[in-house]
Structure 1
Amino acid sequence: MDVMLEILKYIQSFSNKTLDTFFEIVTILGEDIFFIIVIGIFYWCFNKTFGYKLAFVYITSGAINTIIKEIVKLPRPIGYEGIKSIRVKTAGGYSFPSGHTQQSSSLFTTLMIEFKKKWLYFIGVLGMFLVGFSRMYLGVHWPIDVIGGLIIGILWTTIVTKVFAWSKDKDNPIIIGVLVIPMIICLLIFKTATYYKAVGTLIALWLGYIIEDKYIKYVTKAIWWKQINKFVIGFFGLILIKVYFKKLLPLNIYSDFLRYALMGIWMTVISPIIYRSLHIEEN
């Protein structure tokens, strides 16, 4: 721990207001709002199948991250003498592994596996490095958290993409249950808000995936102004549920589960039905 503490102190020895602002912006690449935007753009507007895959990778990776944190229970560097911690509101729960690093690794690895472009490999590796480094610079994670998040994110993404490919090859979305069902069982063990949010979204996403695939068969193709309308409607609905439903429900993990499940159903089932009824989905 002494070595890791000295590493953080060395990294922060270069700190200034400009770098503080830069790394606060960079760290957003590992946060929910960024992933919601990216997943929404793909799912609603360009590539429904890839949007599903990206969502499954992201959400299951978040659930795995919470499970590991609750098992390891490593305290964060926040409050240690000589460490300046910034943007601590994004640093809930335990320290290992870094959720921001793991989630950004999952995102960029999924993009690199899917599109296989040299320029994307460069951006992906750079993005993973910067997000991980930002967590240390901001004084909210140890170096081992970042390394662990990077490795786990890449390995877990590889597993999920193979399961998703298996599901598509068999044309059977129920196969995704091999990822979902164990996480449902773990609701009995890991009773934290973060985990309940992740699994609530995951269950809704899986059910939405099955329902949409069989009954709705949503088409992403549309003229540019319809694409903008789709994104605005879809994104507004998600934020409405995420922010304002919180004010209507009691503050507990079961309400968190319900709220995030509604977000999953909104994205996969309700919003495509709305697009079709408004004629902003092209057939």
Structure 2
Amino acid sequence: MAQPGRGLGVPDALDGVFGEVGVVVLAALTQLGDVWFMSVLAGSIYLASTRPGNPLARRRGAFVLALPIVYVVTVGALKGVFTLPRPPGAGVAVTIPWLPPLLVPVFENAATADGYGFPSGHALGTTLVWGGAALATDYRTRRVRLAVAGTAIVLMSFSRLALGVHYLIDVVAGVAIGAVLLYVVYRLADRGTDPGRALLVAVAIGLVGVLNQLSFDSVAAFGVAVGAWFAWYALVDREPATPRTTGMAVVSVATLVLAGVLFLALYLSVPPTPVTAIGSAVAAAAIVAAPDLGERVVSAVGAERGRTRPG
């Protein structure tokens, strides 16, 4: 797969077609497949799935939560194998003179990319996560959910080509690998009802990534997979909690926020490998067990108040 043939002329045809506003819109659309956005999407679905009296919905939500983890470890493992470059100029953003200074670094981060280019991680992840959400959730009809997922995949994939950060073959391969991986994981997880199996797949792929290349990204991804898998089996699997009160929900959301802060701190500080692994595992475990922690904390507080109440 020679580098000149990977584009099939598409990046050249799209070069310079979009003006300043168009490029900003493309940079926004590409976030549909970014790790942070899909993690927030999956986390929101997971939290919303903890409906009282419906543990099956919680299991399906946990399956969706597992998919960004599978995505991250898979992309890290694959790109370390192929080591194919991106198009020239992928790491340089166009100048948008009217952007506020505070938004310039945000735009530059969204509109550029570095590292290896094959396969497209954004295309793989969007197919895996948005497609998995369409299969596992019960919002509206499956046809509507698949239409939304398909639209997200097409828009995001086009944005990667139009921004010049991927060749056409990178994007097509990413979508294809994401679709195959989703099918395999969905079937292994008993049509999304056994998220522990999906998380175990993430652990296995994450281990391959670490063995292939020991880096902050590979260690963090592996730590996330291990922490999420351990938390599901140790704290959740037998009786998934479905918080029934506002207090339980508040503690659950607070746990998610704190876990997100820990992830951000690790990302910004890039600590030594053992700290990265343990911190990532703890944060992921907290996210998976957030509803259960919320239920247990509120129940414990209520029991303590009952013991200390006079009479």
TM-score tier, shorter chain, comes to 0.7 to 0.9
Letter in 2 for 1:79: G
The reply on whether 1:132 has 2:157 as its aligned counterpart is yes
The reply on whether 1:237 has 2:262 as its aligned counterpart is no
Alpha-carbon distance, 1:258 to partner: 2.7
Letter in 2 for 1:63: V
Q: Which runs of 5+ in 1 are unaligned?
A: none
Describe the shift of the 1:7–1:83 C-alpha distance in structure 2 as closer, same or farther (beyond 3 A).
farther
| Native 8 Å contact 1:56 1:160 kept in 2 | no
Q: 1:41 aligned to 30, 40, 44, which one?
A: 44
CA–CA distance in 2 between the matches of 1:56 and 1:150? Answer: 18
TM (norm. structure 1) is 0.82
The reply on whether 1:255 has 2:275 as its aligned counterpart is yes
| Native 8 Å contact 2:262 2:283 kept in 1 | yes
Alpha-carbon distance, 1:189 to partner: 2.5
Q: Secondary structure at the match of 1:217?
A: coil
Alpha-carbon distance, 1:183 to partner: 3.5
The reply on whether 1:219 has 2:229 as its aligned counterpart is no
Q: Secondary structure at the match of 1:94?
A: coil
CA–CA distance in 2 between the matches of 1:121 and 1:145? Answer: 23
The reply on whether 1:278 has 2:278 as its aligned counterpart is no
Q: Secondary structure at the match of 2:125?
A: helix
Letter in 1 for 2:66: F
Higher alpha-carbon Rg: 2
CA–CA distance in 2 between the matches of 1:27 and 1:94? Answer: 17
Q: 2:213 aligned to 190, 202, 215, which one?
A: 190
Alpha-carbon distance, 1:104 to partner: 0.7
| Native 8 Å contact 1:83 1:139 kept in 2 | no
Describe the shift of the 1:24–1:57 C-alpha distance in structure 2 as closer, same or farther (beyond 3 A).
same
Stretch deviating more after TM superposition (149-158 or 25-34)? 25-34
Q: Find the counterpart in structure 2 of residue 105 from structure 1.
A: 127
Residues 33-77 of structure 1 deviation map (CA, whole Å, 9 limit, x = unaligned): 212222222222324212221122221222121111111101111
Equivalent residues in 2 for 1:82-97, closer than 5 Å: 87-88=108-109, 91-97=113-119
TM (norm. structure 2) is 0.75
Letter in 2 for 1:129: V
Alpha-carbon distance, 1:184 to partner: 2.5
The reply on whether 1:55 has 2:80 as its aligned counterpart is no
The reply on whether 1:207 has 2:237 as its aligned counterpart is no
Q: Find the counterpart in structure 2 of residue 265 from structure 1.
A: 285
State percent identity of aligned pairs: 18
Q: Which runs of 5+ in 2 are unaligned?
A: 50-56, 96-106, 300-311
How many pairs are equivalent?
Answer: 274
Q: Find the counterpart in structure 2 of residue 158 from structure 1.
A: 183
CA–CA distance in 2 between the matches of 1:141 and 1:185? Answer: 25
Describe the shift of the 1:182–1:138 C-alpha distance in structure 2 as closer, same or farther (beyond 3 A).
closer
| Native 8 Å contact 1:97 1:145 kept in 2 | yes
CA–CA distance in 2 between the matches of 1:177 and 1:20? Answer: 39
| Native 8 Å contact 2:263 2:280 kept in 1 | yes
| Native 8 Å contact 2:186 2:192 kept in 1 | no
Q: Find the counterpart in structure 2 of residue 72 from structure 1.
A: 82
Residues 88-142 of structure 1 deviation map (CA, whole Å, 9 limit, x = unaligned): 5662421001111111111121123224522222211111011111111122111
Letter in 2 for 1:139: G
CA–CA distance in 2 between the matches of 1:84 and 1:245? Answer: 30
CA–CA distance in 1 between the matches of 2:11 and 2:60? Answer: 37
Q: Find the counterpart in structure 2 of residue 12 from structure 1.
A: 15
Q: 1:143 aligned to 155, 160, 168, which one?
A: 168
Letter in 2 for 1:241: L
Residues 138-176 of structure 1 deviation map (CA, whole Å, 9 limit, x = unaligned): 22111111111100111101111111118957xx94795
Alpha-carbon distance, 1:254 to partner: 3.9
Residues 218-249 of structure 1 deviation map (CA, whole Å, 9 limit, x = unaligned): 214556x975x3564144212210123556x6
| Native 8 Å contact 1:167 1:174 kept in 2 | no
Letter in 1 for 2:129: L
